[in-house]
A and B are shown apart, each in its own frame.
Chain A
C-alpha cells in the first residue's frame, strides 16, 4: 500500500516535470534579454573588469554579496557560540 502510494506520487511528479520540460523555451533564448544585453555590452567598460559574472556579483548586485558575507559571518558566530562550552 505504502509502496504503491510512493510509486504513484513519483510517477505524477515525473509526468509533471516532463510536461513542463516540453513547454520550456529553447536553450539560449531567454524571454527578456534587455538586462543581459546591457551587462554583456557595458560591464567591461563601466567596471573595468573582464569577468562579467564577478562584476554583477560585486558591483551591480553588491547588496546580495553583502548579505552572503553576513550569512557566513553569522554562521561562524553561531558555531563558536554553540561549541563554547565544549571547547574549553
Chain B
C-alpha cells in the first residue's frame, strides 16, 4: 500500500468517493425513515476512507484526513449520544423528550404507511446523527492507524 495505484484507479476514485460519502450521510440523516441508521451509514462513509487509503496510500490520505480530528469527532459523537440520553432524565434515562414536542425533530409523524418527514423522530434522529459521526470517525481512525502501522512495518523489514 506504499505506492499510489495507477492513474485509472485514481481518476475513478476521485469520481466515486464523493458519491459514496454522500450516500453514507444520506443513510445517517434518514435513519429514522428508511432502512439503515447511524451504524450502517457511518460504515459506508468509512468505506470511502478505506478506498482513499487503498488508492492514494497512507501518506497522502493523512494529508487529507487528519487522524487527530477524526479521533476528536469520535469522542464528540459518543458524548453527544450520552448527553441526549441524560437529557431525558426528567422521566427516565433514554426518554424521548423531543418527540411530538413541536421543536427540533419534534413534528409528529403521520400514522400509517407514508414517505415520512425529516423533522420527526425526536431524540431518535439526533442520536442517529451522533452515532453516525462516532462510527465514521472510529472506523476511519482504525483504517488510518492500521494502514500507517503496516506501512511502517514494511519499511522496517526492508
The residues of A with any CB-CB pair to B shorter than 8 Å are 44-51, 53-55, 57-59, 62-63, 65-66, 68-70, 72-73, 75-76, 79-80, 83, 86-87
Other-chain contact of B142, A47, A51, A53, A75 (Cβ < 8 Å): A75
Question: Provided the pairs A62-B85, A69-B78, A75-B142 are in contact, do residues A47 and B124 lie with their beta carbons within 8 angstroms?
Answer: yes
Whole-angstrom distance between the Cβ of B102 and the nearest chain A Cβ? 11
With an 8 Å Cβ cutoff, the count of chain B residues facing the other chain is 48
Measured between beta carbons, the chain A residues less than 8 angstroms from B78 are 69-70, 73
Q: How many inter-chain contacts with C-beta < 8 Å in the A-B complex?
A: 117
- Bound complex: CA A53 to CA B123 (Å): 15
Whole-angstrom distance between the Cβ of B83 and the nearest chain A Cβ? 12
A-B contact pairs, 8 of them (CB 8 A): A48-B107, A48-B109, A54-B37, A55-B32, A59-B122, A66-B94, A69-B134, A83-B148
A50 near B32 (CB under 8 angstroms)?
A: yes
- Bound complex: CA A60 to CA B33 (Å): 17
Measured between beta carbons, the chain B residues less than 8 angstroms from A65 are 127, 131
Measured between beta carbons, the chain A residues less than 8 angstroms from B141 are 76, 79-80
Question: Provided the pairs A83-B145, A87-B149 are in contact, do residues A50 and B138 lie with their beta carbons within 8 angstroms?
Answer: no
